[in-house]
Structure 1
Amino acid sequence: MKKYKLLSSMVAAGLMTIAVSAIVTDASAQKTTIQTKAFVCGTSSGAPATIAQTNRGDVPVIRWTSERFRDAGYSPQRRCLEVSARFHQYFRNQKLNYLTTGIMNNQQVVCVASGEGGNCTGLLFTLQPGSEPNQVLKNLLAVRVRASGPLNESASRVYIDMSEYLKQAAVEDRSNSQSDNPIW
């Protein structure tokens, strides 16, 4: 009889431990959920920037500092406005899953893909001819390789998981900057 009570106590304690562990795991999973509200063109470190407005703060995604497209009529500010509007449109349509590179209209581009290893499903912006697309994408988003990070590399392309990126990217202190208007 004592063996039976001891065994049932151990089973009960084990079940209690599992239940508490599940509750703690569920609570911590909820804390890491990032809710994105909008993508806007604002400023970051004095430069035009595509910014994700999230529940944990503003996350600069791309700072637009290159003047390489100015002669074609695309200043950094214009690129910021146009690309931020595309980010927001893909976000609203639930198509902003992964960023990757590809070829569209015979030009190298940064685009959105529905999944890792997938093809481009929408254009974000065109790259300068002769650039190394994968390196440009990594540099633009300042992505660091981590075991659980947003960066995944296949044999020929880089894929950035946007939900993981927004969880890990630094939030910018915007207390002293002007209010940014969302791109709708």
Structure 2
Amino acid sequence: MIEKYKLLRSIIAAGSIALAVSAIGTHASAQTSLQTRSFVCGTNNGAPATIARTNRGDVPVIRWTSDRFRDAGYSPERRCIEVSARFQQYFRNQKLNYLTTGMMNNQQVICVADREGGDCTGLLFTLKRGSDPSQVLNNLLAVRVRASGPLNESTSRVYIDMSEYLKQASVEDQPNSQSDNIPVW
């Protein structure tokens, strides 16, 4: 009889643990999905723009206005489409944790990192020659977030916590509306 009670207690304990772990996982993924649903290429102020679609509304992240890479076959529209797809891929694969700067193929880039202080784990886009990577990254996102925003500097590199950025960034009622607050690139 005592063995049956021990077995029953073990089954109940195991079931409770499994239920708790499941609830925690559901809560964490629900928080993420509540915040951001996807990244798309849209328009803002007449220019192609990478936009984060959140439940709070659309958050324009980058307006693509530079023609610097057009001769290489990368119009602002093409850069918007390709970089927005990268944002979406990294988001879908839960790799869009931090934005930072780095070097890839001997070129300065804006990239994703899995942790603050970490190395680049995926390319977002290449910078113009002669650009200050940290300044570009600060300019891209800082203008949309108050001083208490998610900018973190580690030695000479900037790390932007994308989760915090998207929580704090202002949303747009309509993705194609006029806005002076979106960084251009």
Q: TM-score range by the shorter chain?
A: 0.7 to 0.9
> Could you tell me which residue of structure 2 aligns to residue 166 of structure 1?
166
Normalising by structure 2, we get a TM-score of 0.74
Q: Does the 8 Å contact 2:110/2:133 carry over to 1?
A: yes
CA distance in 1, matches of 2:175, 2:62: 19
Please report how far the alpha carbon of residue 91 of structure 1 lies from its aligned counterpart in structure 2 after TM superposition. Answer: 0.3
Structure 1 residue runs without a partner (length 5+): 1-29, 178-184
Partner of residue 45, structure 2? 45
Mapped contact 1:100–1:113 kept (Cα < 8 A): yes
State how far apart, in whole Å, the 1-side matches of 2:93 and 2:77 are.
24
5 Å-filtered alignment, 1:84-99, equals 84-99=84-99
Please report how far the alpha carbon of residue 146 of structure 1 lies from its aligned counterpart in structure 2 after TM superposition. 2.6
The aligned amino acid for 2:137 is: L
1-structure distance, mates of 2:34, 2:166: 7
Cα pair 1:34 1:163 within 8 Å, conserved: no
Max Rg structure: 1
Measured in 2, the distance between the counterparts of 1:60 and 1:85 equals 14
- Cα contact 2:100–2:158 (8 A) shared by 1: yes
- Give the % identical residues: 77
Describe the SS at the equivalent of 1:173.
Answer: coil
Instruction: Report if aligned partners of 1:50, 1:60 keep a CA contact under 8 Å in 2.
Output: yes
C-alpha distance in structure 2 between counterparts of 1:139 and 1:101, whole Å: 13
Unaligned runs of 5+ in 2: 1-29, 178-185
Partner of 1:9: none
Match of 1:21 in 2: none
Q: Secondary structure at the match of 1:81?
A: helix
> Where does structure 1 differ by over 6 angstroms across 4 or more consecutive aligned residues?
none
In 1, the alpha carbon distance for the partners of 2:37 and 2:146 equals: 26
Mapping for residues 71-86 of structure 1, pairs under 5 Å: 71-86=71-86
Contact kept, 8 Å, 1:98 with 1:115, in 2: the verdict is yes
Query: What per-residue deviation string (whole Å, max 9, x for no partner) do you get for residues 77-127 of structure 1?
Result: 000000000000000000000000000111100000001100000000000
**Separation of aligned partners in 2, 1:143 and 1:114:** 23
RMSD value over aligned CA atoms? 2.1
Residue 144 of structure 1 deviates from its aligned partner by: 4.9
